[in-house]
Amino acid sequence: MKNITYEKALDKLEKIVEELERGSIPLEKSLELFEEANKLAVYCKNCLDTAEQKIVRLTEDGSEEDDFE
């Protein structure tokens, strides 16, 4: 999944959830989609966690610079 953007992963996840909610697909296909959705959810969470860490580092670095002015 490294070649997919957060936005594309989230869009794909939303489409899978919609399909699962309709409930009109066979059990085996539902399980496959659920597994894919779980992987996409983990990927999206990791992307958000990484972004949050970057923001924290940037704001911490920025606040240190402000202290020296």
Share of the chain above pLDDT 70, in %: 88
Q: Among residues 39, 31, 30, 46, which one has the least CA distance to residue 12?
A: 39
> Does the pLDDT of residue 64 top 60, yes or no?
no
Which residue blocks in the chain are alpha helix, DSSP H?
A: 6-22, 27-67
Higher pLDDT, 2 or 11: 11
The DSSP code for 68 is T
- When computed from its CA atoms, the radius of gyration of the chain, rounded to whole angstroms, is 18
Q: Give the residue numbers spanning the domain of 25.
A: 6-67
1 belongs to a structural domain: no
**What pLDDT shows up at residue 18?**
96
Compute the distance between CA of residue 48 and CA of residue 30 in angstroms, rounded to an integer: 26
What's the distance, CA 37 to chain centroid?
10
Tell me the pLDDT band of 67, cut-offs 50, 70 and 90.
low
Task: Output the domain CATH number for residue 14.
Answer: 1.10.287
> Does the pLDDT of residue 2 top 90, yes or no?
no
Q: How many domains does the chain have?
A: 1
**What pLDDT shows up at residue 61?**
78
